[in-house]
Structure 1
């Protein structure tokens, strides 16, 4: 054996001791860091640092920030780690106006709530109040307003007990194009013996439309082309129940009627 490659035991012992010392030091540092991290976590979980300080809410239009904050039940005493995201989402959906909700957390103390609301499709007029009607047929009684709204059609001459009719109106309005939907001013429930779904529609252009909710959205999608074909400045009644025909108002008195 080549004597140049032989390492004596005396030479190896200091190197082994140094390696063991470094290894022990690394292990000690790791344990100290782990211990320190555990202490920090315990302090964080047990202190007000883990209480909710910020609530970020996005996607809301029907409800205000304050409304949703109150609905969530979260306050400055709520520990962020006690919040059950699925249960909170279901709780918000139970309010009636929320279609879905996503909850997320941001360390150390921020909760983000992203909601998707049902579309407000009309206002239900009852006793000089205007109650928002959603696309799913729900009415938000707690959001009623006294001033006449202008951002959605108004439903008149209908009782709140007519739930099937109200739901049907919401469904049919949801299926309209923006052009036709924005052209509607009022919807009046005018049932007949031959058609319990009969409605009279008052348009923003001054015309009236007679239709049945059973085919309302299918017939109303042709309204712009019908108006274009009339080629007259006169206003009148457009009957869409069977086929479609136009009858001009003979007098202001007939128009009012």
Structure 2
């Protein structure tokens, strides 16, 4: 048998000591790194380096960016890790024009505020200016403008905060933007038999008689009817009961009641002359 090589314990001890020393050094380095990391985190959290430096806002149209930031309560003195987003979102949502809000951190020092505003469905004229009306029926008096930019119809003759106006705005919310852009004015024209009657003036010069109820559904037939009418021919499109077009020269200028009254006055005059 081959003679086995025997390593004495004296030769092994230095190597074991060196291995233990390396292991102890690695453990010491790990603890030192961990210690300095914790110290760095504490210093970072307590220093201006963790304060908010930038605040960005997206999705706002009616409400100014500065106002949204003010409502949030965020300043450059706030620690980016110590912000109560839920409370801030609630504060911003109290603004009538804002529908939804979400806030998020964007490291290292930015807070991003994303808002969704209610849709503007029309304008109402008041004191020489035009006040936007939102889909929830709210008036944005602070956002009044001198001249509408044609992105929504003008509502005329409506009682502010009335049930009829609220229903109308809800219907307009469901009208396609391309179709709503064809409407110039919407007049509330209540009748004794139907208080929901409305009269529309379209950008192409046509008039439309409709009802507030189911307006968003019934107005969809208008483009089809309008496409069959000559541009030179003007009249009234009725979509409240059925859907049809009547040229102006065929529209009766007098109501039946007015005609009866005129006939009665004529008969009285004849009797007097006799």
Verify same fold: TM over 0.5: yes
Q: Which residue of structure 2 aligns with residue 93 of structure 1? A: 93
Quick check: 2:225–2:245 contact (8 Å CA) kept in 1? Answer: no
Q: 1:157-172 residue pairs with structure 2 within 5 A?
A: 157-162=157-162, 164-172=163-171
CA deviation vs aligned residue, 1:194-219 (integer Å, no higher than 9, x gap):
22221111111111111101121111
Q: Which residue of structure 1 aligns with residue 259 of structure 2? A: none
Distance 1:136 1:6 in 2: 93
Quick check: 2:159–2:165 contact (8 Å CA) kept in 1? Answer: no
Structure 1 window deviating more from structure 2 (204-213 vs 185-194): it is: 185-194
1:171 deviates by 1.7
Q: Which has the larger radius of gyration?
A: 2
Distance 2:24 2:233 in 1: 97
CA deviation vs aligned residue, 1:224-248 (integer Å, no higher than 9, x gap):
1111223352212212111123232
1:155 deviates by 1.0
Q: 1:44-193 residue pairs with structure 2 within 5 A?
A: 44-162=44-162, 164-193=163-192
Gaps (5+ residues) in structure 2?
A: 254-274
Quick check: 1:130–1:149 contact (8 Å CA) kept in 2? Answer: no
Q: Root-mean-square deviation (CA), in Å?
A: 2.2
**Number of residue pairs matched by the alignment:** 251
Gaps (5+ residues) in structure 1?
A: none
1:250 deviates by 4.3
Secondary structure of the structure 1 residue equivalent to 2:214: helix
Q: So what's the TM-score if we normalise by structure 2?
A: 0.83
Instruction: Sort the Cα spacing of 1:19 and 1:225 in 2 relative to 1 into closer, same or farther, 3 A.
Output: same
Q: Which residue of structure 2 aligns with residue 236 of structure 1? A: 235
1:170 deviates by 1.8
1:86 deviates by 2.1
